[in-house]
Amino acid sequence: MSATPTAPADSAACCTIVADGAITAPDAERLARVFKALGDATRVRLVSIIAASETGEMCICDLTDPVGLSQPTVSHHMRLLTEAGLVEREQRGKWAYFRVVDNALDAAARSLVAR
């Protein structure tokens, strides 16, 4: 009896996406930071709140109440989202304003699909 498993007849079809969509190690590291940033429910909510705002941007001072966290904790979450490239930060006097990076979420999702 052979120890080698038998491949299905259409094994080429099942592997096409992986072979076609394989990414480089540096791209995988970058993408992992994006998904790690989105791996926290609070950060997902923060991105959603900012994206849904009338102006497309929000002050850090307006993000604490919706998520029920202190300003330093929200600032920590926003720093991680900024480092992952999901939001942009602009300092205006004392306050930081954030906006979702155009197409950042779409680009992350597309990176896992065959090219």
Return the CATH number at 32. 1.10.10.10
Mean pLDDT of 73-81: 97
How many separate domains does the chain show? 1
Cα separation of 48 and 83, whole Å?
Answer: 17
Cα separation of 31 and 57, whole Å?
Answer: 24
* pTM exceeds 0.85: no
Nearest to 59 by CA among 68, 45, 69, 46: 46
Domain coverage including residue 32: 24-110
CB 86 within 8 A of CB 101: yes
Is the residue at 92 inside a domain?
yes
Residue 8 has pLDDT above 60, yes or no: no
Is the residue at 115 inside a domain?
no
Is the residue at 96 inside a domain?
yes
- Cα distances from 30 to residues 5, 16, 18, 36, 43, in angstroms, run 35, 23, 18, 10, 17
Is the residue at 16 inside a domain?
no
Is the residue at 6 inside a domain?
no
Is the residue at 29 inside a domain?
yes
Mean pLDDT of 85-95: 96
Is the residue at 15 inside a domain?
no
Is the residue at 81 inside a domain?
yes
Banded model confidence at residue 22, pLDDT cuts 50, 70, 90 = confident
